Structure 1
Amino acid sequence: MTRIESPGPTWLTVPGKRTAESSLRDAATAAFAVNGDAGRALELSRALGGSVPRPGSGRTLRLLETLASLAAADLTAARVAEAHLDALAILDQAALHPAGLVAGGSPEPSWGVFAAEAAGSRLEARPVGGARWRLDGTKPWCSLAGSLSHALVTASTAATTQRLFVVDLADPGITVRTDAWVSRGLPAVPSGPVEFRGTTARPVGDDGWYLRRPGFAWGGIGVAACWWGGAVGLARRVWESVLEREPDQIALAHLGALDLALTAAGTSLAAAAAAIDAGDAVGDQGALLAARVRGQVARTVDEVITRTGHALGPAPLAFDARHAGRIADLQLYVRQHHAERDDAALGRRLRDAGVSPW
């Protein structure tokens, strides 16, 4: 049986234009060693924080390829690293240095971004003097809140506008709830609600800055790069299967269809990286680009999951722990895309623009 025990880099570009092969290979190898362990994923995230480029820095392609390489090797590694790197990028856009936000003598911080909203959950922010604010309420979908040191958290101000805050997750007013997390996908990355009671927070930007900044759309494209990398990891298992024995026409058809879908989505991600670095992905254009890329990649992931199952049958789901785990992880992760609701939001954006998009 031909198995990939240490997956290589994942590129978004054609041969001859590939960047930083050794660093991507090292990242993929380190991610493979994570093997679903959140503690190892946090260590890798901190190690990558100083070397991975920020979006819009002129090396956005390298950032997306790094995220994809991590995800193709291990989705827990990618899920944790993407949030940590996104937080560092947000702080960079706000001209804040992470070291200045951490109490003296603290170890290297690990960061998350808690910005999801849900019916029945509300987090409110009130100023208490100087640069200090107080957070009260509940924030849903807070990944690894019990393991991270710090987080960037959105909360509603008196003007009912969302504002971003830095929070030390060791604050005694924070209660992390993981009891309801029963997911078979990303099981080591519990993403339950967090309760805030009189929690001290420091604002990052003014009201609405978090959503207005160009990096909001860019961060969404980074998540799509992780989805795409996870799909590549699945497709590699189909590639292995055609090397294990002489494939029939159906197996070859699945392999060809996987290549078409992944190549198209990868090209879309590479083009997005170029647009970001060229300054062409800001404002409405950036939001439109992110919606298109995320939608295309999400559809590709759904197709890859289906075709992989058809091509391989039940055996790897039953007897290959890595493969079975990747399927469960990716199915959960890609549901950050809201399927038809996000398609409808894209349609509304196109209609409101008032000009033909094609």
Structure 2
Amino acid sequence: MQEATPPSTARRPAGEGTATRTGADLGPEGSAAAAGFVRYVDALAVGAQDCPLPGSGGTRARFDALSAVARDDLAVARLVEGHLDAAAILAELGQEPVVLGQYWAVWAAEPPGPGLTATRTGDGWVLDGLKQYCSGAHTCTHALVTARAEDGRRLFAVGTAASDGAAASADGPGCHPVPGTWPAIGMAGSDSPDVRFTHVPATPVGEVEAYLRRPGFHHGGVGVAACWLGGAEAVARVLYERAARRADLFTDAHTGAVDLRLHAARTVLDRAADEIDADPLDETGTAALRALRVRALVAETCAEVLDRVGRATGAGPLCRDAGHARAAADLAVYVRQHHAERDLAALGELVARGDGDGAGR
């Protein structure tokens, strides 16, 4: 269980881990996102005060760090968020911390389909099946993966195809990214293909359903929203630049509306961080309600920013500014981790049931 003041993400035994990797070693054709991910994670080893664990008293700094990466590159932020979330999960569930030279992911998406199965053998657990949306599949050396076992859904730690610097034969045991399963334009740099698991040795992390039952599950969901918000701020940049260059009533109106939405979302995110620090173990039972509210508000903010920036600036930035076009496409994809009406229905159910702080009733 996570302590009230959990340890820093920099808690790594000296001298352990693999050699630092470079962009040339990582991802499809040494992608820029993979290289940026590695640089950030390696810097974190000596600067973790900038990104403490959620509930440690520095959650605002954690969310600010995630937003800052997202403002620079949302695909990199997706990979960094996965690594930092894995570090938080391992700490909360009482596992050994990540070490320098490891690059972690959390592969927990469970869309319709057979997914992964976990089998206990005489030599330990093994995983078989197909896992979808595995961000950093060619880059990360380790992953936390959800799988179905006879006794329920469990979380496991595995070494990936990238852990030894070279993928084994796609026909043999191991976990192998499936070619052609991530043809995305938006969030292309997140490298999120399907991964095929064949008799992959796995270490259980926590008990059955521990991944979902822990308070940090909801705290981590707010961290994802911090990335979305940073992405929205990146998209808004061209609008602010246009407003600064020319006096135009309609541009100013869109700029004011976007600023209002971003300011409100940032204020709510800051409040959520303070509430997480005040109640890291969710003794008040408000973590789920908080996460659903923050994620819904930030998702709506992202949608309005994308719409207003497009209406105010026209097609020009999307057609002639590669950085803006990529930021807009990335945000449109990433924010779909919010499940729209499904998540709003879940929020409404909590409110109707009387869970949480009762605000608005």
TM, length-normalised to structure 2: 0.83
Inter-CA distance 281–327: structure 2 relative to 1 (3 Å threshold): farther
| Gapped regions of structure 2 (runs ≥ 5) | 1-29, 162-167
* Identical pairs, percent: 44
Q: Does 1:285 align with 2:281?
A: no
CA-CA distance at 1:280 after TM superposition: 6.5
Partner of 1:56, secondary structure, is coil
Where do residues 1-358 of structure 1 align in structure 2 (5 Å cutoff)? 36-49=32-45, 51=48, 52-99=51-98, 108-129=101-122, 132-159=124-151, 161-170=152-161, 172-245=173-246, 247-279=247-279, 282=282, 284-353=285-354, 357-358=359-360
CA distance in 1, matches of 2:352, 2:45: 40
- What are structure 1's unaligned runs of at least 5 residues? 1-33, 101-106
Give the C-alpha shift of residue 49 in structure 1.
4.9
Question: Normalized against structure 1, the TM-score is what?
Answer: 0.84
The one-letter code of the counterpart of 1:248 is: D
C-alpha contact (below 8 Å) 1:35/1:74 kept by paired residues: no
- Amino acid in structure 1 at the alignment position of 2:101: E
Equivalent residue letter for 2:153: Q
Q: Once the 2 structures are TM-superposed, how far is the Cα of residue 277 of structure 1 from its aligned partner?
A: 0.3
Question: CA RMSD of the aligned region, Å?
Answer: 2.0
| Alpha-carbon distance in 2 for matches of 1:121, 1:222 | 29
**Conservation of the 8 A alpha-carbon contact between 2:127 and 2:198:** yes
Say which SS state the counterpart of residue 108 (structure 1) adopts: coil
Q: 1:54 Cα deviation (Å)?
A: 0.7
In the alignment, the residues of structure 1 paired with residue 98 and residue 292 of structure 2 have an alpha-carbon distance, to the nearest angstrom, of 33
CA contact (8 A) 2:218 2:288 kept: yes
| Deviation digits for residues 21-77 of structure 1 (CA, Å, limit 9, x no counterpart) | xxxxxxxxxxxxx99532232232232255121111100000000001111111122
Once residues 280 and 41 of structure 2 are traced to their aligned partners in structure 1, the CA distance between those partners, rounded to angstroms, is 29
Cα contact 1:265–1:297 (8 A) shared by 2:
yes
Is contact 1:176-1:194 (8 Å) kept?
Answer: yes
Distance of 2:352 and 2:265 partners within structure 1: 24
**Quick one: structure 1 residues 354 and 327, their matched pair in 2 at CA, closer, same or farther if it must change by over 3 Å?**
closer
- The question of whether the paired residues in 2 share the 8 Å contact of 1:45 and 1:80 is answered with no
Once the 2 structures are TM-superposed, how far is the Cα of residue 327 of structure 1 from its aligned partner? 0.4
Q: Is the 8 A contact 1:126 1:157 kept in 2?
A: yes
Distance 1:304 1:49 in 2: 34
Structure 1 letter corresponding to 2:104: W
CA contact (8 A) 2:238 2:317 kept: no
Q: Secondary structure at the match of 1:98?
A: coil
